[in-house]
Amino acid sequence: MPRRILIFTVLVALLVYGCSSSGAESVKSSLPALEGGWTIQMNHSGGIMGLSRSIDISSTGKYLILDERAGKSVTGQLAGDELSQLMEIVATSEYRTKDSQLPSACADCFIYDLEIAGSRGNFKVQLDDVSLPDSGMEPLVTLLRNWMDAALK
């Protein structure tokens, strides 16, 4: 019996170590510069309540926010300081991923599909509540979520 406990303990320790990100190399990439015509789109979905929202913002500051569950859409124009804040966050953000990162197994997480299309390239990533904090994208996702929440009240 003690041998089984020892083997079980070793297997659990190996599993925990293997699933941790401590041994993985981090890969960084910059986001496309927001110059000329560009668009930012984020789809925010999932969770226990089956959320399905999106925000589309153009380089002019015009936005469209949709809430599919509520059947609601909001259009508007970002204020100059909001547009500047968005451009600053994108300019200073670096996407980080672990080279051995696997999709998380979070069943009730929110999913964030983020896409930036600029004149100098495109960036597309899918994140969830588990991968978001270490991705470098949390400030941008939080800003976009806050704007969606405020517009859809």
Domain spans, the chain: 27-151
Per-position pLDDT tens, the chain of length 153: 666 664 555 444 444 444 444 445 668 888 988 999 999 999 999 998 899 999 999 999 999 999 999 999 999 999 999 999 999 999 999 999 875 455 567 888 999 999 999 988 999 999 999 999 999 999 999 999 999 999 999
Residue corresponding to tokens 């904090």: 133
Tell me the C-alpha distance between 117 and 46, whole Å: 24
Label residue 136 left, alpha or beta by phi (over 0 means left) and psi (-120 to 50 means alpha): left
pLDDT for res 39: 97
Tokens of 67: 């809430």
CATH T-level assignment (fold) for domain 27-151? Mago nashi protein (3.30.1560)
Three-state SS for 136? coil
Rounded to two decimals, what is the model's pTM? 0.80
Q: What is the per-residue pLDDT for 28?
A: 85
- Position 102 scores a pLDDT of 53
Angle at 111 (CA atoms; ends 105, 113), nearest 5 degrees = 125
SS3 10: helix
Give the DSSP H/E element, type plus range, for residue 148: helix 138-151
Query: HSE (CB half, 13 Å, CA atoms) of 66?
Result: 10
pLDDT of residue 18: 43
